Amino acid sequence: MKRKGIPLLIVLVMIGSVILSACQAEPETVVVTQVVEVEGEPVVITQVVEVPQEEDMEEMEQPVTMDAFSTTDIPTLDPQVGEDAVSINYIENLFVHLTNYDLVTSEVVPEAATEWSVSENGLTWTFTLRTDIPWVYHVPGGETTQVVDEEGNPRFVTAHDFEYGIKRACDPNIGSYYSTVVAPVIKGCSDVLGYEDPANIPAELVDAIGVSATADDTLVIELEFPAGYFLSMTPMWTLAASPQWAIEEIGEQWIEAGYIVTNGRYVLDEWVHGVRRKIMRNPLMPADMAGDGNIEVMVANVVPDASTGYALWLNGEVDFIDLIPDAEVEAHLAQFPDETIQIADLAVFYIAFRMTKPPFDDVHVRRAFGAAFDRETYVNEVILGQGVPMKHFAPPGIFGAPPIDEVGVGYDPEFAAAELAEAGYPNCEGFPQVTILGYSGQRTLSWIEYAQGQWEQNLGCSADTIVIEQQTFAELLASTAQDQPDETVPHMWTLAWGPDYADENNWVGDVLWCESENRSKRSCNEIDDLILQAREEPDQAVRAELYRQVEEDFFGPEGEYPFFPVYLRIQYAANQTWLSRIPALFGGQQWYNWDIDWEAKQAGLQ
């Protein structure tokens, strides 16, 4: 497909539409203009949206539309680069994945792959793909058409697109966090990801990655070791098919409205950064893949904060809210019990330490600070029951997670005081001033202020000993990166981890293993040997016991404590009465399976 001429064509068509409208009875129009860079040159994308006259509104058949809000822009729509919930939600709906998760059972079910098999040694997976999923291009405000190649042939998703996407996930130059999650499993991926000269990776090294399309409908993936949990990783967006021809021709801007080619249940109709986005049903999606929901259009506006979003929900202007502001929870529960649900998204929140930065280079200090935090009181009184106290990392529902009350120290003020004294700071005497960094927002501020009070109450560390700072989530990630020098990194920071696949390796392996991202800069030791042993162990009962030992070695009385878990989030959310949805535990939200009673919504808004 020749793509270089498309942006200019779009602009000319839209300019022509404006000129023609001047010669006729003009409807009211709204013009949205964006400037994006393509191959070093600025290109203007203009969308002219006609607003129907009031007398014509009743005659129009309005599509079933879900209204939503967000407090942030979409960071990216690139499947291999996405790492945050906002991006992953949109990627889930714009792109098909190799497999998917069933919303009710959480079982891995077919998506692009209709069936799969694994070799006896567990090292080679073969996926059979359907060949009727079209690559599509959508003109903002206009039609959706199937993409064609240079010879005019329609493009369908093939195993070659998955091969390209997965190998691309191994490329260190795209800056993907989730590259570090998939690389250890796929043969040869880590060799490319960790290559010493990323700008000059040998082609033969890329070719050696264990992913190959042996036919348009056959994808073969070779593993570094017989990872029994690999199938549970295959719904991940990082392993999705990507359009090589578009990425290579357009560059980083290939994900923008007016440029992006997709293959999912929806297409991108509008994306005004930091303001608004809109997706619409893909009319070319095979009918049996369209999903069970009836939402044809989804519109989300960016608002300053969750309180503004809650006000929109109260006014019926948005269909759901996934985080009711703490100040509103009690009144909301009293007024809207039937519209309220609790979502256990399996995200575990924790406070991490820089283990190479004094005084937290001393394990006794880390144990003291972890054991001095009263998790139960925090959950019940500060976040009003929207969680479950956690003493270890992996939550219930994840294979290999130990029972919730059997592993870890948790809250033990006497143990905490003794550990701090063992470190040479009895009753916090002589303890240096330290910094705790939280991401922005009132809930996080309440969290770290509570921690500050706990450390004063149970350890004797006065409030001015613990300096509180806040940054945006992106800034916090940058500030605490492993390669940042210790002198610039805070002593402690807040973070959370939600599941990407239903296995303990996604927790202790992808977060705490010494060769993972390793923000705490923990050194490799015998715990990592256990992590690797559990990763490769074929006997599931043995794996579970190994993971129990790993959790004990991190969070038990003799634990290493690179961080301490605080709570598992079970937050209050609210739906308008006309919305039916099942929240996804893994991956992005499947909006294509959500339903709106359109007549009820229309009646409710009158």
Residue 19 falls inside a structural domain: yes
User: What number of other Cβ atoms are within 10 A of residue 33's Cβ?
Assistant: 12
Q: Can you tell me the distance from the alpha carbon of 552 to that of 344, in angstroms, rounded to the nearest whole number?
A: 24
Q: Can you tell me the distance from the alpha carbon of 583 to that of 606, in angstroms, rounded to the nearest whole number?
A: 28
Residue 89 falls inside a structural domain: yes
pLDDT at 46 over 90: no
Q: Are residues 466 and 503 in the same domain?
A: yes
Amino acid at 205: L
Domain-ending residue, one of 258, 289, 320: 289
Domain-ending residue, one of 16, 38, 61: 61
Residue 331 falls inside a structural domain: no
Residue 559 falls inside a structural domain: yes
Domain, as residue range, for 257: 70-289
pLDDT at 48 over 80: no
CB 555 within 8 Å of CB 350: no
- Give the β-pairing of 340-353 and 99-101: unpaired
pLDDT at 10 over 50: no
Which pLDDT does position 31 carry in this prediction? 54
Encode burial over 277-301: b for 16+ CB neighbours within 10 A, e otherwise: bbbbbbebbeeebebebbbbbbbbb
Which pLDDT does position 345 carry in this prediction? 86
pLDDT digits (tens, 9 = 90+) for 95-147: 999 999 999 888 999 999 999 999 999 999 999 999 999 999 999 999 999 99
Which pLDDT does position 443 carry in this prediction? 84
Domain-ending residue, one of 247, 262, 289: 289
CB 183 within 8 Å of CB 210: no
pLDDT at 468 over 70: yes
Residue 157 falls inside a structural domain: yes
- 34 vs 98, higher pLDDT: 98
Which pLDDT does position 34 carry in this prediction? 56
pLDDT at 30 over 60: no
Within 507-592, where are the H helices? 526-536, 540-555
pLDDT at 196 over 90: yes
Q: Are residues 136 and 185 in the same domain?
A: yes
The conformation of residue 380, written as its DSSP 8-state character, comes to: I
pLDDT at 58 over 50: no
Which pLDDT does position 542 carry in this prediction? 95
Tokens representing 547 are 């993971």
Residue 145 falls inside a structural domain: yes
**What is the count of structural domains for the chain?**
3
Tokens representing 397 are 């529902």
Q: Are residues 36 and 101 in the same domain?
A: no
Q: Are residues 363 and 484 in the same domain?
A: yes
Lowest mean pLDDT among 23-32, 129-138, 157-166, 254-263: 23-32
pLDDT at 94 over 90: yes
Lowest mean pLDDT among 38-47, 296-305, 331-340, 579-588: 38-47
CB 573 within 8 Å of CB 564: no
The mean per-residue pLDDT over the stretch 330-356 comes to 94
pTM over the 0.85 mark: no
Q: Are residues 55 and 78 in the same domain?
A: no
pLDDT digits (tens, 9 = 90+) for 370-404: 999 999 999 999 999 999 999 999 999 899 999 98
Residue 366 falls inside a structural domain: yes
Q: Are residues 534 and 434 in the same domain?
A: yes
pLDDT at 26 over 70: no
Q: Are residues 433 and 511 in the same domain?
A: yes
Q: Are residues 19 and 80 in the same domain?
A: no
Q: Are residues 533 and 428 in the same domain?
A: yes
Q: Are residues 447 and 521 in the same domain?
A: yes
The mean per-residue pLDDT over the stretch 503-517 comes to 93
pLDDT at 1 over 80: no
Which pLDDT does position 25 carry in this prediction? 42
Which pLDDT does position 477 carry in this prediction? 87
Q: Can you tell me the distance from the alpha carbon of 142 to that of 7, in angstroms, rounded to the nearest whole number?
A: 14
Q: Are residues 137 and 284 in the same domain?
A: yes
Work out the angle at residue 160's Cα, subtended by the Cα atoms of residues 156 and 161, and round it to the nearest 5 degrees.
60
Domain CATH number, residue 254:
3.90.76.10
Peptide bond into 396 cis (omega under 30): no
Residue 316 falls inside a structural domain: no
Residue 4: band (very low, low, confident or very high) from pLDDT cuts 50, 70, 90: very low
Q: Are residues 373 and 481 in the same domain?
A: yes
Query: Angle formed by the axes of helices 442-459 and 363-371, to 10°?
Result: 110
- Residue 324 Cα distances to 5, 299, 386, angstroms: 46, 20, 10
Q: What's the distance, Cα to Cα, between the start and end of the chain in Å?
A: 46
Instruction: Tell me what the pLDDT averaged over the chain comes to.
Output: 90
- Give the β-pairing of 65-70 and 297-302: parallel
Tokens representing 120 are 């006896």
Which pLDDT does position 573 carry in this prediction? 95
Domain CATH number, residue 419:
3.10.105.10
pLDDT digits (tens, 9 = 90+) for 272-314: 999 999 999 999 999 999 999 999 999 999 999 889 999 999 9
